[in-house]
Amino acid sequence: MAALAGLRRATSLGRFNRKTKTMKSYTYLKTQMLGELLLVATSTHLVGIYFSDQKNGPKLPGDWKLDPKHPILRQTGRELQEYFDGERTRFSVPVSYDGTDFQNEIWKQIARIPFGATITYSELAQRAGAPAAVRAAGTATGKNPLGIIIPCHRIVGKNGAMGGYAGGLDRKKSLLKIESGTNL
């Protein structure tokens, strides 16, 4: 619950004004299980985790700074590695995201799904207060800028099918295996 409290605090304080440019730093994290991840942060919050081949991943703007020693990026790398090694079930790195009101609500609901649990896209839409918006919930899930930490891999189809995943279904299966304890 502490991780969720941090998530709620960060998102309420950390939403960025889209009209204001915020300096971002980035680094790459090479993982054996998922390949290369792009980690993006402001001076105070993690704002993105993207797979190298992700469809909706950002293009690196010229004003972003490659900074592998950035404290938030280093903390993220450590926490992700602990998660991959089966030693972490929650993340404490401060995060922030900026989507539409609906996207923000969907991401908030995804963040509340416990480690090792899954829910359906229908249940996600219902939790977000929009039970008829199942497809929109799926679309918002696919635009999650903080995959793994906001665990969109925990969303599955109504019949238990994997559904989609921005990082590809093999990565989604790998993340679910970590959480089921069968990957260790």
Together in a domain, 28 and 55: yes
Who contacts 183 (Cβ-Cβ below 8 Å, separation ≥6)? 33, 86, 174, 177
Q: Is residue 56 part of a domain?
A: yes
Q: Is 22 part of any domain?
A: yes
What's the Rg (C-alpha) of the chain?
A: 16
> Per the domain annotation, does 90 fall within a domain?
no
Q: What is the pLDDT of residues 91-106, one digit of tens each?
A: 999 999 999 999 999 9
Provide CB contacts within 8 A for 136, sequence distance 6+: 102, 125, 130
Cα 31 versus chain centre, distance: 16
Q: How far apart are CA 45 and CA 22, in angstroms?
A: 11
Instruction: Using the predicted structure, report yes or no on whether residue 11 has a pLDDT greater than 70.
Output: no
The three-state (H, E, C) secondary structure of 71-128, written as one string:
HHHHHHHHHHHHHHCCCCCCCCCCECCCCCHHHHHHHHHHHCCCCCCCEEHHHHHHHC
Count of domains for the chain: 2
Stretch among 16-30, 119-133, 143-157 having the lowest mean pLDDT: 16-30
What average pLDDT does the segment 123-151 reach?
A: 96
Same domain for 74 and 124, yes or no, is no
Q: Which residues are catalytic?
A: 152
131 and 158 both lie in a single domain? yes
Is residue 184 predicted with pLDDT exceeding 60? Answer: no
Helix (H, G, I), strand (E, B), or coil: what is residue 183? coil
For residue 134, being part of any structural domain is answered with yes
Q: Are residues 78 and 141 in the same domain?
A: no
Asked if residue 122 and residue 65 are part of one domain, the reply reads no
Same domain, 132 and 73: no
pLDDT digits (tens, 9 = 90+) for 40-93: 999 999 999 999 888 778 888 888 999 999 999 999 999 999 999 999 999 999
Indicate whether 91 belongs to any domain: no
Rounded distance between C-alpha atoms, residue 178 and residue 84, angstroms: 7
Q: 55 and 119: one domain?
A: no
* 131 shares a domain with 59: no
Q: Is residue 92 part of a domain?
A: no
Q: In CATH, what number is assigned to the domain containing residue 135?
A: 1.10.10.10
Considering the domain architecture, whether residues 118 and 52 belong to the same structural domain is answered as: no
Position 147 scores a pLDDT of: 93
56 plus 107 within the same structural domain: no
The answer on 9 and 51 residing in a single domain is: yes
Does 3 score more than 70 pLDDT? no
Task: Give domain status of residue 21, yes or no.
Answer: yes
Range of the domain at 27: 2-84
The CATH number assigned to the domain holding 25 equals 3.30.160
Examine the domain organization and report whether 129 and 75 are in the same domain: no
Domain boundary among 55, 84, 113: 84
What are 139-176's pLDDT values in tens digits? 999 999 999 999 999 999 988 788 888 888 999 999 99
Helix, strand, or coil here: 51?
strand
Under DSSP, the state recorded for 172 is H
